[in-house]
A and B are shown apart, each in its own frame.
Chain A
Amino acid sequence: MAADREDHLPSGYGRMERGWRGWAMLAHAILMVAGLLFLLPLLWMASTSLKPNDQTMTFPPTWIPKATLAPLDGKETIVTKDRQVREASVLVLVLEGPAQGQRRLLLRSEFPDARVEPGAEYRMQIKVAQAGREVLDPTPVRVRILRDVPEGYWKVTEWTPEFSREREQSKGVVRWDCVPETAISVKPHAFVSNYSAAITRMDAKGEPDAAWYDRGFARYVRNTLWVCFMSVFGVVLSCTLVAYAFAFLEFPGRNVLFAISLAVMMIPFPATMVPLFDVFRWMGWVGTFKPLWAPAWFGGAFYIFLLRQFFLGLPKDLLDAARIDGCSELEILWHIVVPLARPALAMVALFQFIGAWKDFMGPMLYLTDPSQFTLSLGLQDLQSQHGGTPWNVLMAANMMFSLPLIVLFLLARKTFMRGIAMTGMKG
């Protein structure tokens, strides 16, 4: 049918009158603009998730993540530009005192000699960290001259991934150097470390000495998958049975039951939320995963409706023939209906999986302990953590949460599209 239409007609609306041929072009133009608008937020999420933190807030916004590279101790390293040197200075190595082994940048004018040789040693006052602030230490310490830093050089600091062990261990002491503008280069670079940063940050919620699979992120994934699989399994099983009954078995009250089933789709979740919570509390299920998957084992109105529609389209003669051959209803269901309805069942499974994966209100309502969090709650927790999480790390977590669904959708596109088209059959 669809192929037929494509061969004979110039548009989805039959023949176009003269002069309207340009409409197809215009349609494509409109759709490309609209498509771009729909994609932009996703691209922005992907792009931000691969940026270093200092590039997330630039104006105008940049789309391609870039790394700033500079030679640090002779080796090309990813750095952040701290500041430009305003006055001729000297880079020195501190040889004694609390800051021993660290580098300092001192003003050229502070030195008594007109010329400073690399390797020469002086006694100078330097700034030291005191209660989190840099203050000038009145007692001079011995320093060795490393090199002259002319005005216009950049102070660059080695970049370490957010929340990484390197950053934790460095305790504020980071490698840095002063380099001329010409030595600094910028090139596109994907900061994949944001993803591990997001995982580390989520892991920080769990017991620090627990095994990796028992800490935050891996746990959230396990919990989410558990809820997804349990509810998918239950919903497919129960809805197949019930839809079979609605489609093929006569029983008293069937039509009334079916009408009620359609009507309950009208009841919004918030309207039944409170007594439902009470039911689960009475069962002692609050604080477990059961409220999230157990109801699926008792069917879902929408899926039952969808499957019933599909079953009604199957050849009834086949069923009657099987019945005459003495097959029981369960045998008919298992050997005839299920194989024929595989696309519809796959669709129900996919929709339920996605629904369970995305769910926020349910886990928010029933799960209390961080060790039980699903990815939804883990992500929300990451976003609201004390001190805030940088946008690039949040976007990396967002990507990890959304990408599986997008991949699943692209893999099963046909099943999906057919399913969504069927959704409208109720009309």
Chain B
Amino acid sequence: MNERGLRWRGIVFSLPWIVGLAVFSLYPFCASLYYSFTDFSVLEKPVWVGLDNYAEMAQDPVFWQVFWNTIYYVALAIPSGIVCALGLALVVNMTRRGQWLYSVIFYLPHLVPAVASAILWMWILNAEIGLLNSALRPLYDALNGLRAWWDPALAAQMQTAPSLLWGPPPWLGSPQWALPALVVMGLWGLGQMCFIYLAKLQDVPIELYEAADIDGASVWQKIRHVTIPQISPIIFFNLVMGIIGACQIFTEPFLMTQGGPDRATTFLPMYIWDNAFVYMRMGYACALSWVLFVMILVLTIVAFRLSRDRVYYAGK
């Protein structure tokens, strides 16, 4: 009786989750696949249209722009995020005092809600009066001075044509700088990743370093051949989480640029949002969301493939 009782209890205990999984994850997931083959505005019943949504997508220049924007963002944000977070964690691990203080400082920005950080960064990235460009402008002035000194002919031209002067990028105001600006802003919130690395760095068995010491390894060699392989599973974990997170970027561009200028910062989540809740094209939005899902899947598989021989799992 006890055995069977335990079985039933197991199911009863996990019942909320089974229901939750079904209603809030699996059903929407499958329904979105079905809707992606239909023409569906909220007010009317979905009408089956086969692959029309996907065919339309292939013809939709906006979709392709948004698609490549998303890829471009992921391609910039993931490597820079991993390098910076890992780099900082490696350096923090080099110290003995004040580790907690550094990790607290790096973590604080992660606590600022997206709406608040979006507003703050709009202010910092402001082309004319923003803090960043206020700091950069003297550098550019010095650079212009140097150019003028180097090339007197250019100096004369600069007097009449101010467009020849170099200046700090207008960030959110220009199509080519808005997306990198969002990446820089994203780096500000890497504290969480950094802290996960740090926790893992401290779990690396001390004996490995001692063994390396006996072999006369330098600090760099130890980091390269002991530390990195030891924490490779967590690098991989952060890579996958980073891909999922980066593909979902919504709030920042939604508030800061409304996807502009020239749709340079419209990413898939925002295009899904617009189609679903602005243009009321739920079917097309679902097709887009499947593209997003497949994109994440493919990127994750690529990450798996690339790291298969480079990730070290203890005991496997």
Taking Cβ atoms with an 8 Å cutoff, the residues of A that contact B are 2, 4-6, 9-17, 20, 23-24, 27-28, 30-31, 34-35, 38-42, 44-45, 48, 56-57, 59-61, 238, 241-242, 244-246, 249-252, 254, 257, 260-261, 264-279, 281, 295, 297-299, 304, 329, 354, 357-358, 360-361, 365, 376, 379-380, 383, 391, 394-395, 398, 401-402, 405-406, 409-410, 413, 416-417, 420-421, 423-424, 426-427
Contact = CB atoms under 8 A, between A and B. Distances in A.
Contacts of B18: 257
Given A61-B131, A273-B272, A360-B113, 7 more contacts: A4-B206, A13-B226, A15-B213, A31-B91, A270-B269, A272-B25, A376-B113
A11 B116 contact: no
Given A12-B201, A295-B24, A360 B115 contact: yes
A279 B28 contact: yes
Given A11-B96, A277-B276, A261 B21 contact: yes
B116 A401 contact: yes
Contact of B42 (A20, A281, A354): A281
B162 interface: no
B62 to A, nearest CB: 17
B124 A421 contact: no
B115 A272 contact: no
A252 B11 CA distance: 8
B232 to A, nearest CB: 9
Given A5-B206, A23-B94, A365 B277 contact: yes
Interface string B198-225: 0111100010011011001011001100
A427 B66 CA distance: 32
A264 B26 contact: yes
Nearest to B238: A424
Contacts of B175: none
29 contacts: A13-B222, A38-B106, A38-B109, A41-B109, A57-B129, A245-B9, A245-B14, A265-B244, A268-B248, A269-B248, A270-B268, A270-B289, A273-B272, A274-B276, A274-B285, A275-B27, A276-B24, A279-B23, A279-B24, A298-B16, A298-B20, A299-B16, A329-B6, A376-B115, A420-B195, A420-B199, A424-B237, A424-B238, A427-B234
B199 A17 contact: no
A270 B95 CA distance: 41
A249 B202 contact: no
B290 interface: yes
A402 B244 contact: no
B278 interface: no
Interface of B (DSSP majority class): helix
Interface string B71-115: 000000000000000001001111110101011111111011111
A274 B282 contact: yes
A9 B192 CA distance: 27
A274 B14 contact: no
A224 B43 CA distance: 30
A211 to B, nearest CB: 27
A272 B28 contact: yes
A30 B219 contact: no
Interface in B138-171: none
A35 B108 CA distance: 10
Given A252-B7, A274-B286, A295-B20, A379 B116 contact: yes
Contacts of B303: none
A391 B123 contact: yes
The 3 A-B pairs of least Cβ separation, nearest first, read: A298-B20, A251-B10, A14-B209
A277 B296 CA distance: 22
Contacts of A281: 42
Nearest to B216: A17
Nearest to B32: A275
A299 B17 CA distance: 5
A255 to B, nearest CB: 12
B106 A35 contact: yes
Chain B interface residue number, banded:
35 or more
Contacts of B47: none
B17 A27 contact: no
A99 B33 CA distance: 71
Contact of B111 (A9, A257, A405): A405
B58 interface: no
Given A275-B35, A276-B28, A298-B19, A14 B120 contact: no
A357 B300 CA distance: 30
Given A14-B212, A242-B13, A268-B293, A41 B20 contact: no
A257 B220 CA distance: 44
A246 B88 contact: no
A279 B32 CA distance: 11
Contacts of A299: 16-17, 20
A4 B209 CA distance: 14
Nearest to B2: A323
A150 to B, nearest CB: 34
B37 interface: no
B272 A405 contact: no
A266 B244 contact: yes
Contact of B119 (A15, A245, A250, A394): A394
Contacts of B20: 238, 295, 297-299
A12 to B, nearest CB: 4
B31 interface: yes
A425 to B, nearest CB: 9
B108 A268 contact: no
Contacts of A277: 276-277
Given A249-B10, A402-B113, A11 B94 contact: yes
B250 interface: yes
B16 A249 contact: no
A2 B206 CA distance: 10
A409 B206 contact: no
A270 B272 contact: yes
Contacts of B292: 268, 270-271
Contacts of A424: 196, 199-200, 234, 237-238
Given A272-B289, A277-B276, A14 B14 contact: no
Interface in B35-53: 35, 42
B32 to A, nearest CB: 5
B188 interface: yes
Given A274-B32, A274-B289, A268 B244 contact: yes
Nearest to A244: B13
Contact of B94 (A27, A39, A59, A379): A27
